[in-house]
């Protein structure tokens, strides 16, 4: 009696955090049990932290199958940026288990809007202010990787202002 075997001991892929639910990861995963008949039946499943963010198909196999891992819920780089879990192919006999590691790295996308320190900015200028004079500093926060980053900007736009 043979244990199921995967075509690799480890699978790695990088995908965008904006991958839609149902997106199939671009991995070539095959599993085979060289036994025949009922002895070649086995179950495939994922184990590990956050493995519920992905689903596999098929899960019940006889003989040989190509396995697909798909996104099960929306992903968020700022919450989890990497997934490491185990892929098992298990017969009913306890010591007949195939095993492989799966590593998924998320690619961060610009998906969070900045938060400004005020909803509205009002300024007053003298009409003879010199071009290039700093007239306003705007602060905003943009969240990346659970850390906020602060940016500021200040500029008087235009080269001159003519009043008629």
Fold type of domain 5-107 = Immunoglobulin-like (2.60.40)
DSSP helix/strand/coil, 48: coil
Q: What is the pLDDT of residues 109-141, one digit of tens each?
A: 876 677 777 788 888 888 888 887 877 777 777
Tens digits of residue pLDDT in 17-26: 999 999 999 9
For the stretch 99-111, what's the b/e string if a residue is b when 16 or more beta carbons lie within 10 angstroms of its beta carbon? ebebebebeeeee
Q: Is the pLDDT of residue 153 over 60?
A: no
**Coil vs helix vs strand at 53:** helix
**Residue with more model confidence, 78 or 56:** 56
Report domain extents, the chain: 5-107, 115-153
pLDDT at 58 over 80: yes
Q: According to the model, what pLDDT value does residue 162 have?
A: 40
For the entire predicted model, the pTM comes to: 0.71
Is the CB of residue 68 less than 8 Å from the CB of residue 57?
yes
């Amino acid at each position: 009696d043979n244990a199921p075997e995967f075509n690799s001991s480890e699978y790695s892929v990088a995908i965008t955090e904006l991958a839609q639910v149902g997106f199939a990861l671009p991995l070539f995963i095959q599993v085979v049990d060289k036994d025949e008949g009922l002895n070649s039946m086995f179950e495939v499943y994922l184990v590990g932290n956050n493995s519920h963010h992905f689903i596999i198909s098929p899960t019940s196999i006889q003989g040989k199958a190509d396995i697909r891992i798909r996104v099960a819920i929306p992903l968020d780089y700022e919450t989890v940026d990497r997934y490491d879990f185990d892929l098992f192919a298990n017969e009913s006999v306890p010591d007949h288990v195939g095993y492989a590691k799966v590593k998924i790295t998320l690619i961060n996308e610009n998906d969070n809007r900045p938060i400004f320190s005020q909803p509205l900015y009002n300024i007053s200028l003298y009409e003879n202010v010199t071009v290039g004079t700093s007239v306003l500093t705007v602060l905003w926060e943009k969240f990346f990787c659970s850390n906020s980053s602060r940016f500021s900007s200040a500029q008087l736009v235009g080269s001159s202002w003519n009043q008629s």
